[in-house]
Amino acid sequence: MQELPIEYCRSRYSVEGDLAIEFNMKYFDDYFRDIDYRMRVLGLFPKEFKKGYMLYKAGKLKPDFAGDKNGWYLLDGDAAFKFNIANNDLPLMFAVIPALIDLDNAQDLDRQRMK
């Protein structure tokens, strides 16, 4: 599971009742100025991000309106999902999810050591 920056995400559509997630590929230009480093970071993301970024750089993403160059790319609905509780894009206690996963892994290690 990878948390994406909220200011570069939006959800305007739904597919089969699930919210569809769009990601603004401009994020990679805004946060990673060095192109070599940017490409290494893109390699850490699922392949569709690199595809979307290349389309963005080539100017081939469908614009929202004439002259739009924002770079919104619709992510795969089977892999991308949005937590939305009470119309809040960042649900309460969301930050604890990675800590809970780490705790579960630590408990598994403890059990193995005790055996």
Q: Is residue 71 part of a domain?
A: yes
* CA 52 to each of CA 2, 11, 39, 77: distance values in angstroms, whole numbers, following the listed order: 17, 16, 13, 14
Whether 51 and 67 map to the same domain: the answer is: yes
94, 82 in Cβ contact below 8 A? no
Indicate the pTM of the whole model.
0.69
Whether 40 and 70 map to the same domain: the answer is: yes
Q: Which amino acid is at 84?
A: N
> pLDDT, tens digit, for every residue of 71-103?
899 888 676 666 665 565 554 555 666 777 778
* CA 33 to each of CA 24, 72, 89: distance values in angstroms, whole numbers, following the listed order: 16, 19, 28
> pLDDT, tens digit, for every residue of 21-38?
889 999 999 999 999 999
Whether 34 and 52 map to the same domain: the answer is: yes
Whether 66 and 102 map to the same domain: the answer is: no
> What range defines the domain where residue 106 resides?
90-115
Domain count, the chain: 2
* HSE-CB of 91 using CA atoms within 13 angstroms: 10
